[in-house]
Structure 1
Amino acid sequence: MATMATEHDEGTPLKVSEHAPPATGYQDSPPSYSENEGMFARTLDDTTIRRYFIRKVFVIVGVQLLFTFGIVCVFTYSSDIRNFTQATPAFLYSSFGIFIVMLVALNCCGDIRRQYPWNILCMTLLTLSLSYMVGAIASNYNTASVMIALGSTVAVCLAIILFASQTRFDFTLCYGFLLVASIVLLMFGFFSIFFYSRILQIVYGSLGAMIFSIFLAADIQLMLANHRYGLSPEEYIFGALILYLDIINIFLYMLMIFGGDR
């Protein structure tokens, strides 16, 4: 195979795909997969492996989204479940704790993330806990607002997936900008607590939906590995995780836009 250029970080090594020009002074070496090393790898020549990886990622994400949005519909349409959720905040706090533990385990523990069945178990617990939290949040909004936000999320995500898979613009180079934008969004949300207004809520929701839409486009290209950076086929759980979280965040910000004064 041709010699590939590499870029090193303090954390996970990133490797340039075949579309980038080769650099001199680097030698081929087998990838390391200890802990978080080897999360990102160069695009494989074997397109069959890449297509199988993409299919596996989207199947996992599809199952997660069907379950989560099913829970959202149940929480929205059932007044009994809505009342139970609002009367028992302990379940919400417990779900949040489980979600954080599973998120840290899947992001920071490479062996768990790549080892069956622990990776599936952690992903299942994360999906269950996040689904309950999203359903509990949606239960505070009226049914029409939730359905509009849900339909808007589906339309936006499908458009982004199609655009990101066809465009030549490399969204994977935008991760630095997205990190800064996320920090600014977090600070904006914190100060919005003390200066609340409906207009400010719409602006905040619009900014959040836009930022995570760019995240989704970048992560889609990371799956396809047809730009500068690509995700290793061993990291199908990590790939499903980031796409799932992107879409859920888009839905929550859409809900903030269409939800009215809540």
Structure 2
Amino acid sequence: MSRSDYPPAYDSPPYAPQGGPHQPPPAYGFPAYGVPQPGPPSAPYPNDSNTPLFPGQPGGGYPPAAYSGQPYPYGHPGAGYPAPPPMPPVIPPTLPSGVLTSGDEFAASGRNWSDLGIRHAFIRKVYMVLAAQLLVTAGFVAVFTFVEPVKVFIKQNQALYWVSYAVYIVTHLVLVCCQGPRRKFPCNIILLSLFTLALSYMAGSISSYHDTKSVFLAVGITAVVCIAVTIFCFQTKVDFTKCQGLFCVLGMVMFVTGIITVIVLSFKYIPWLHMLYAAMGAIVFTLFLAYHTQLLIGNRKHSISEEEYVFAALSIYVDIIQIFLFLLQLIGASNR
């Protein structure tokens, strides 16, 4: 066989690369022969399952799985075990001097129609103010429940809750204890607006710790309870206004029980204690709602003066919001 019968060499046409010398193929992630190979890390070995064992190796293991009921996926700013929701604010209801009036029943024949018309106008005015307060609170609760970035912001900035708590306490005490600011316009409206915004923020903050189903359920039950209590107070012959001493004791019991419950739950969360306190609070403030509604109607032994529309709206508004918050706590604690 002659030399021409052999295949051409690789460095000659047609195998020779055009345009210059042949370049070696790119590396595929493996070091060349003779280069030191990376070895495992020296002892002690890392305990974290996500720590790579070799340089350049991506983190191993699986991302931590979300526990049952976790509202955020892994990597979300709000992921992790959520803190228990704050307890509803409780201040014992008080009745300062000059708010109540006593005498014959205004609906009796001894009263003339002019007094009855004044009382009806007073009731309409109170419920208009109350409706505006409830609309503001409903807006806060809706935003804090449905808008996810707001929920994350609330949980990461719990100091704002305590700021609103301080505003709530200060404005509440001023409106209850100071007759001048309570009756003088526009000071009373400004204080009542600050009070409403503070309590609405607190209600929205507590609602952000619960799922949408629990919030809707609490809203529905609260609406049914409030409507039923109002109809009952207009129709019944039972006079809750005679039991001022009983309601004072109930208010103090709720206040002391709330402080003890907060202290106990701050060290160790006990679901049944939380549920017991929430159930007791819902029942007590339902009774307060009946008491304040009869004071507003004025057809019993005691009634609220026609000049105290701010105090009347404040009292009923606090009762409704407290019923909602306690029911929400009860439903949320039962789902934990």
Aligned match for 2:228, one of 159, 176, 186:
159
1:184 is aligned, of 230, 247, 253, to 253
What is the identity percentage for the equivalent residue pairs of Structure 1 and Structure 2? 40
In the alignment, what sits opposite 2:104? 18
Alignment of 1:191-230 (within 5 A): 191-192=260-261, 193-194=263-264, 196-230=269-303
Q: TM-score, normalized by length of structure 1?
A: 0.82
Amino acid of the residue matched to residue 129 of structure 1?
Answer: A
Assess, with a 3 A threshold, how the Cα gap between structure 1 residues 176 and 99 changes in structure 2: closer, same or farther.
same
Q: CA deviation at 1:17?
A: 2.5
* C-alpha distance 99-191 of structure 1, shift in aligned 2 (>3 A): closer
Letter in 1 for 2:103: S
Q: Distance in 1 between matches of 2:120 and 2:105?
A: 18
* Structure 2 match to 1:68: 137
Distance 2:175 2:260 in 1: 31
Instruction: Give 1:48's match in structure 2, choosing from 117, 121, 124.
Output: 117
Q: Distance in 1 between matches of 2:295 and 2:224?
A: 21
8 Å contact from structure 1 (residues 43, 230) kept in 2: no
Which letter maps to 2:97?
A: T
How far apart, CA to CA, are the structure 2 residues paired with 1:174 and 1:90? 39
Pairwise CA RMSD: 2.2
For structure 2, the residue ranges without an aligned partner over 5 or more in a row are 1-94
1:67: Cα distance to partner?
A: 1.1
The structure in which a higher percent of residues are helix is 1
- Point out which structure has higher relative CO (alpha carbons under 8 A, 6+ apart): 1
* Partners of 1:145 and 1:255 within 8 A in 2: yes
Select the residue among 313, 327, 330 that pairs with 1:240: 313
Closer, same or farther: CA 79–118 of 1 in aligned 2, 3 Å = same
Match of 2:31 in 1: none
Residue 149 of structure 1 contacts residue 251 of structure 1 at CA under 8 Å; is this kept in 2? yes
Amino acid corresponding to residue 183 of structure 2 in structure 1: R
* Structure 1 segments unaligned to the other structure (5+ residues): 1-9, 21-41
Other structure's SS at 1:46 match: helix
The residue identity in structure 1 corresponding to 2:145 is: T
Retained in 2: the 8 A contact 1:17–1:43? no
Aligned length: 232
Query: C-alpha deviations, 1:127-183, integer Å up to 9, x for none?
Result: 111111110111011111111011110110110011011101001122211221222
Mapped to 1, the partners of 2:127 and 2:96 lie a distance apart of 26
Aligned CA distance change for structure 1 residues 208 and 77 (closer, same or farther; 3 Å): same
Aligned to 2:214: 145
Structure 1 pair 141/58, CA: closer, same or farther in 2 (3 Å)?
same
* 1:225-248: CA deviation from partner (whole Å, max 9, x where unpaired): 100001111000010000000101
* 2:144 alignment partner AA: F
Relative to the length of structure 2, the TM-score reads 0.65
Contact 1:50 1:224 in 2 (8 A): yes
Q: How big is the shift at 1:43? A: 10
| 2:240–2:294 Cα contact (<8 Å) kept | yes
**What is the distance in 2 between the residues matched to 1:144 and 1:46?**
46
Shift of 1:44: 9.0
Distance in 2 (alpha carbons) for counterparts of 1:120 and 1:189: 30
Amino acid at match of 1:88: N
Structure 2 SS opposite 1:259: helix
SS at match of 1:233: coil
How much has 1:90 moved relative to structure 2?
2.6
* CA deviation string 1:192-243 (max 9, x = no partner): 3427532332222111111111100010010111000011110000100000
